[in-house]
Chain A
Amino acid sequence: MGQKTPQIYSVELNGAKDMKQRDKGDDKDKYRGLRSTCLELRKNDHKERVTKEIDLDDHKLSNKELENKYHTNIVTGLSSTQAAELLARDGPNALSPPQETPEIIKFLKQMVGGFSILLWVGAILCWIAYGIQFSNDKSSSLDNVYLGTVLALVVILTGIFAYYQEAKSTNIMASFSKMIPQQALVIRDSEKKIIPAEQLVVGDIVEIKGGDQIPADIRLLFAQGCKVDNSSLTGESEPQPRSCEFTHDNPLETKNIGFYSTTCLEGTATGMVINTGDRTIIGHIASLASGVGNEKTPIATEIEHFVHIVAGVAISIGVLFFIIAVSMKYRVLDSIIFLIGIIVANVPEGLLATVTVTLSLTAKRMAKKNCLVKNLEAVETLGSTSIICSDKTGTLTQNRMTVAHLWFDNQIFMADTSEDHFKQTFDQSSGTWASLSKIITLCNRAEFRPGQERVPIMKRVVVGDASETALLKFSEVVLGDVMEIRKRNHKVAEIPFNSTNKFQLSIHKTDDPTDKRFLMVMKGAPEKVLEKCSTIMVNGQEQPLDQSTAEAFYTAYMELGGLGERVLGFCHLYLPADEFPETYSFDVDAMNFPMSNLCFVGLLSMIDPPRSTVPDAITKCRSAGIKVIMVTGDHPITAKAIAKSVGIISANSETVEDIAKRLNIAVEQVNKQDAKAVVVTGMELKDMSEDQLDEVLSSYPEIVFARTSPQQKLIIVEGCQRQDAVVAVTGDGVNDSPALKKADIGIAMGIAGSDAAKNAADMVLLDDNFASIVTGVEEGRLIFDNLKKTIAYTLTKNIAELCPFLIYIIVGVPLPLGTITILFIDLGTDIVPSIALAYEKAESDIMNRKPRHKKKDRLVNKPLAVYSYLHIGLMQSLGAFLVYFTVYAQEGFRPSTLINLRVEWEKDFVNNLEDSYGQEWTRYQRKYLEWTGYTAFFIGIMIQQIADLIIRKTRKNSIFQQGLFRNKVIWVGIASQIIIALILSYGLGSITALNFTMLRPQYWFVAVPHAILIWVYDEVRKLFIRLYPGSWWDKNMYY
């Protein structure tokens, strides 16, 4: 039905055609085919696409073939000269930064964007007018040339200002992305050298060890216990083993290739560089991201909308009065000059600069709260966000495994998982705990990096994998100096953890000098550990492991596992001293020690715990109407557990599976309407059609995406955007960058984030903390409200600036307000006050209302325009006219004389124009009086703008509720208005070019009653809005 109508409407006024189209019924059928193809294309795994593009086959080649291909030698490496040649050919080994718009284009954009075009037109009309005048009369005054020049200057200056602001905020980012140059250990000329990684070339032989970042794409030639973290590339959170064997056709899967910018976690390896810089896989993904179009920010759309409204008003009034003027027999040249005046009066010249300043002020404020905004407009985007797709690891969680629960003596104990206070409150008196703690301490290869004695335990850097780190820190906190304990219990043998054994074992001498027995300690997957046990320790006593204790074990295991925690079992055995004397030599390969009948001691479970600020932040998001969706590569169970603990899945909502389990029925039988939450895995997502995804996104308020590949994030983001939502996406990996770019606002992690992610994002969270997003949202919403106030404030005086022209044309009074004077209001007295409104506090709890709908809640809506233009604006013009008439009347020209005086008034050769008292005026005396009139009108507007400023502090509450003095900057603004006006009138009153004169002091007070009237009127408006919410008044008068 009539879908065409809204579409056209949207083209005309919203400029957001495609968004609407998507909701509309009919077109859907037409486009469905087309779009599903797109979807399939998109669903093609990025991995494959990347692979095809780069066509890498080095992993299949033998070492010899590689040497030939890259003209290198595995032992001696490249020669320096070869390397230099290759470097010159291929360029440095670094990702080229994303294509920047050339500065000159950015600058020119500022020059022609927004109102600038209108002002340029005004300026050019001025010059044309002068040209015509000049061709008629060589001695014509240069006024129009001046005006044109001033207009051009205004455009250029505001353009330069906006450009400077932009550049400044970009610079913050530039300094941020400067990283410490990476080093690489390379073999060249048969020597090991450390060179900056940027100088690597293909064919270089590099050595890497645990902790290093891989400096380029390398083909491994030798590897020992090497594991890499590919999470930033593929999203796999588990460490990936690397070796030199070719294991898979796909270069991303094969084990003998290490990728640029991934980290080597442990082990050592030697490899040959096969790709550098942009030709690396990461480079390809990064360039993919730049292919995803940047969405226009909501505030940019809003400002464009606003510019359209104002420009529309300006042009239509201008043209209307041009026609009126021409039909009133004004000369065309004069009419053109009127047109210029009307344009200048209508365009709030200073506003866009003010908006920029306001945004950058907020950006600064947000930077203090750890949200670094790259793109100024993103400040507001965060405020209108309605869906946040958040990462789990690092953003919602602390990104470190922490011991969460212990199970011993048939009891589950809870450990403290908060970030800083690490007070463990569980019962530590039991003998079982003594044994368990010993196992935890000894059966652990992780170590603190030396030299961190003064660093709090939880912040120390540890060498070792995540679980071991967690255990190390846990034991350090509970027991004290772990390294010392380990020293006293000398380790004699060890089997490290591996995935086939699924356990780790070590044998120690005990610290008890009387006890000559060896202690064998073991930890590992609980079921594997239990298999090897025949006894269990309860209250410090060994007991046989019978059916009931085993059952208790399984219950605890399942419970902890159900919490999404990683569970480890611990057991030990004192090796009998007679069989294993002190000199016994343990052989870990031959396993010449018992591997059964051990004594089970307990379970420990670990989780990456949520940050303590997150649940609160999520609650805030929820009350702010923002849907938080978790997107993680982790297991559904863990994801769900974390989601539950942070409140993404609220306490009383259930998934379909939960309901099925509770009612004990099959999943299919559950009424899907009952479930509020859903956990969608990557596999399920892969099989979903676009419509099904839409269905999921819109019907469940609480959604967790688990086991998703980072590429699927893009699909999720697009799905959310189809719901007309403003989507914020957090991400840290390179592979997140397309999604970050696609999102309305991409938020990269400052600590964990990769450069590519930071480049693609609009905002960087310096502390990686989700709670910072919430403060960002708050700031963003506040700035939207305050921008409304600023714009309302600025638009109001447009009418007061416009009316003089209209009255001048229609009634023929001497011009009440000159064009230059208008510029002094717009760019002088009004600038500081409109910025001051940005400091206004929120009227009510802005975090308790829904996010604005980006197509319905406009920045400049009808009530705002109507109220500013037709109510306050009109009152203001009346007040200003009163001052004007007062000045003229007191000088001799009563209002009745002024009517239709224009023609005589402006004749240069009439030097004896009679006023109401019979006095005769020369042309210059009249001109001077006219300027006094300008000044008077200017002062009139300025005085009433003070009242306007005060009433704009709130939109709904009374000023007295808001507090007249809470925002001190407002008073700075008022002071600036008055001071600028004083300077213009009394300081610069003698400079004739500025058209200001010294005004008698009493005229400053003529408009004061009007100012008070404005205030009272607005208070009444607000009172009715508060008294009758939802009423006709509320709808039409609340902007």
Chain B
Amino acid sequence: MRRQLRSRRAPVFPHSYRYRLDDQDEVNQNYLADEEEEAEEEARVMVVHNLEEEEEEDEVKEEEEKNEEEGQGQPTSNTWWRKLQIMNEYLWDPEKRMSLARTGLILVIYFFFYASLAAVITLCMYTLFLTIGPYMPTFTERVKPPGVMIRPFAHSLNFNFNVSEPDTWQHYVISLNGFLQGYNDSLQEEMNIDCPPGQYFIQDGNEDEDKKACQFKRSFLKNCSGLEDPTFGYSTGQPCILLKMNRIVGFRPELGDPVKVFCKVQRGDENDIRSINYYPESASFDLRYYPYYGKMTHVNYTSPLVAMHFTDVVKNQAVPVQCQLKGKGIINDVINDHFVGRIIFTLNIET
């Protein structure tokens, strides 16, 4: 009966064919099998047939065990091993009777397919690069209006220190010193030119020509340059904080008015900060530092700075400070972005 059932279902391969039907995809294809495959199949059938006869003489239980053994060709079989084998077949040999050449063929086809895809994407990327210049970005609307950052900056916008304990502010000093190395007068004089203040430093000529940069000397920062007071006022409870506007290629403050910096108490008593000294005294970024031509050609560009010297701040209490940029075309009240045109930090100076 059992054999009849089988033969009815799989007339081409009369015996023990079904045990290998575990791969569904294969089933559809079997009937279309090549002749050589059929020959191979027959050979298998012969072996299988003999085994089957042996089995039939055995007890049912034994037969089952034997089945497992023969089916796996493994003396110690367990479900995990079988699963692994199925998995293995599924992954590496989905078409069971596929010869090695065919596996190779698939690999070759996929190789060419992906290679041509890679070629296509390379071509596309190449075209992309053709459309964008290396010196100037195509669009700058996302990076405008400029953002603002302060120095010293160490992961936090809270300046907590105790005047009498140098350990609490020493790292600010180090950070500022490090940052200002690039502004050393000698370096600036050597690398950059002293261009006339109060007007844009426009350099015409080809995009790819190297551009000159204007000097911004450390000494411009006077009391906050760290030259006279190497502790930047931290030792006296009058900290210097440097403010830098983010670089934007081609950015020019509108209508020739330089961008100014203005700080005040953000929340609370206005009198918590009684005086701030700005260096340069104009509290502005001079026009001569604009426009910026991008880092490819404007190699030595030095970002201008404005130093805020908080000379008289209420001690022993956190004072939120907001420093804003002021000028035409400057936006400093974007709700989501607290760093565009303004910066907020707190000073908590203990004595």
A516: CB under 8 A from chain B?
no
On chain B, the residues within 8 Å of A1000 by CB distance are: 139
On chain A, the residues within 8 Å of B71 by CB distance are: 1-5
On chain A, the residues within 8 Å of B157 by CB distance are: 909
Q: Nearest chain A CB to B69's CB is how many angstroms away? A: 9
B212: CB under 8 A from chain A?
no
On chain A, the residues within 8 Å of B76 by CB distance are: none
> Contacts A925-B147, A932-B142; is A1 near B247 (CB within 8 Å)?
no
Return the contact of A25 from the options B2, B83, B137, B337 (Cβ within 8 A). Answer: B2
Contact with A along B166-194 (1 / 0, CB 8 A): 00000000000000000000000000000
Q: Nearest chain B CB to A571's CB is how many angstroms away? A: 55
Cα–Cα distance between A5 and B32 once the two chains are bound (Å): 24
Q: Assess the B25–A878 pair: CB atoms within 8 A.
A: no
Which residues from 921 to 969 on chain A have a C-beta closer than 8 Å to any C-beta of chain B? 921-925, 928-929, 932
Q: Nearest chain B CB to A922's CB is how many angstroms away? A: 3
Q: Assess the B139–A891 pair: CB atoms within 8 A.
A: yes
A892: CB under 8 A from chain B?
yes
B128: CB under 8 A from chain A?
yes
Q: Assess the B125–A885 pair: CB atoms within 8 A.
A: yes
Q: Which of B52, B121, B131, B334 has the most CB of A within 10 A?
A: B121
Cα–Cα distance between A1009 and B28 once the two chains are bound (Å): 36
A992: CB under 8 A from chain B?
yes
A691: CB under 8 A from chain B?
yes
The stretch among B256-264, B294-302, B315-323 that forms the contact with chain A is B294-302
Return the contact of A918 from the options B1, B72, B247, B337 (Cβ within 8 A). Answer: B247
Contact with A along B8-31 (1 / 0, CB 8 A): 110000001011111011011100
Q: Interface size class for chain A?
A: 35 or more
Q: Nearest chain B CB to A250's CB is how many angstroms away? A: 37
B100: CB under 8 A from chain A?
no
Which residues from 811 to 841 on chain A have a C-beta closer than 8 Å to any C-beta of chain B? none
On chain B, the residues within 8 Å of A6 by CB distance are: 18-22
On chain B, the residues within 8 Å of A929 by CB distance are: 142
Q: Assess the B298–A918 pair: CB atoms within 8 A.
A: yes
The stretch among A231-239, A338-346, A852-860 that forms the contact with chain B is A852-860
Q: Nearest chain B CB to A628's CB is how many angstroms away? A: 20
Which residues from 898 to 923 on chain A have a C-beta closer than 8 Å to any C-beta of chain B? 909, 911-912, 914-923
Look across to chain A and name the residue whose beta carbon is closest to the beta carbon of B336.
A924
B6: CB under 8 A from chain A?
yes
Contact with B along A543-565 (1 / 0, CB 8 A): 00000000000000000000000
Q: Nearest chain B CB to A20's CB is how many angstroms away? A: 9
On chain A, the residues within 8 Å of B155 by CB distance are: 909
Q: Assess the B138–A891 pair: CB atoms within 8 A.
A: yes
Return the contact of B248 from the options A12, A691, A890, A919 (Cβ within 8 A). Answer: A919
A988: CB under 8 A from chain B?
no
B314: CB under 8 A from chain A?
no
Contact with A along B209-238 (1 / 0, CB 8 A): 000000000000000000000000000000
Contact with B along A862-882 (1 / 0, CB 8 A): 110000001100110010011
Cα–Cα distance between A9 and B71 once the two chains are bound (Å): 14
B249: CB under 8 A from chain A?
yes
Contact with A along B331-348 (1 / 0, CB 8 A): 000101111100000000
B206: CB under 8 A from chain A?
no
Return the contact of B121 from the options A12, A857, A882, A886 (Cβ within 8 A). Answer: A882
Look across to chain A and name the residue whose beta carbon is closest to the beta carbon of B128.
A886
On chain A, the residues within 8 Å of B83 by CB distance are: 8, 12
Cα–Cα distance between A909 and B301 once the two chains are bound (Å): 24
Q: Interface size class for chain B?
A: 35 or more
Q: Nearest chain A CB to B81's CB is how many angstroms away? A: 11
> Contacts A856-B28, A891-B138, A919-B143; is A885 near B128 (CB within 8 Å)?
yes
Cα–Cα distance between A623 and B119 once the two chains are bound (Å): 48
Q: Nearest chain B CB to A849's CB is how many angstroms away? A: 13
The stretch among B59-67, B196-204, B280-288 that forms the contact with chain A is B59-67
Q: Assess the A892–B2 pair: CB atoms within 8 A.
A: no
On chain A, the residues within 8 Å of B5 by CB distance are: 23, 25, 694
B195: CB under 8 A from chain A?
no
Look across to chain A and name the residue whose beta carbon is closest to the beta carbon of B156.
A909
On chain B, the residues within 8 Å of A317 by CB distance are: none
Q: Assess the B63–A26 pair: CB atoms within 8 A.
A: yes
Contact with A along B68-110 (1 / 0, CB 8 A): 1011100000010011001000000010000000100110001
Known: A885-B128, A917-B137. 10 other contacts (CB 8 A): A1-B71, A890-B138, A890-B139, A892-B249, A909-B156, A912-B246, A918-B296, A924-B339, A925-B143, A928-B142
Please list 15 pairs of residues, one from A and one from B, whose beta carbons are closer than 8 Å in the complex, sorted by A's number: A5-B22, A6-B21, A26-B63, A699-B8, A855-B24, A856-B27, A889-B129, A891-B139, A892-B143, A914-B247, A915-B143, A917-B249, A921-B147, A924-B340, A1035-B32
Interface residues of chain B, those whose CB is within 8 Å of chain A, are 1-6, 8-9, 16, 18-22, 24-25, 27-29, 32, 48, 51-52, 55, 60, 63-64, 67-68, 70-72, 79, 82-83, 86, 94, 102, 105-106, 110, 113-114, 117, 120-121, 124-125, 128-129, 131-132, 135-140, 142-143, 146-149, 153, 155-157, 244, 246-249, 292, 294-296, 298, 301, 334, 336-340
